[in-house]
Amino acid sequence: MPRAFTPKVITANALIEGDVIYLTPQDTWSRDLSEAELLTDEAHAQLRLVEAQARVAEVVGVYLADAKEGETGPEPTHFREEFRRTGPSNYFHGKQAGL
């Protein structure tokens, strides 16, 4: 029996910078997961994924990541996506440099 579809976001890496990015409902890329489009319909998610994968001049490694609705927008449900969202584990680089 197939597994039930769970909500997803489309994520990738920016082609030039390598940053983790998320597809928004406005069809733009954001570095902020809370701005991502939360996809709750499997057919729509697959269509959006195909469209995002075609944007080879902007992104690499496009895929659907499990997510859930949070207070300020989508939130990851897997530790891998939480790690990707927060950036490098070395506080002197990337998104965490300001901490």
Report the predicted TM-score, pTM, of the whole model to 2 decimal places: 0.85
What's the 3-state SS for the chain?
CCCCCCCEEEEEEECCCCCEEEECCCCCEECCHHHCCCECCHHHHHHHHHHHHCCCCCEEEEEEEEEEEECCEEEECCHHHHHHHHCCCCCCCHHHHHC
Per-residue pLDDT of the chain (99 residues; tens, 9 = 90+): 778 999 999 999 999 988 999 999 999 999 999 999 999 999 999 999 999 999 999 999 999 999 999 999 999 999 889 878 876 665 665 565 665
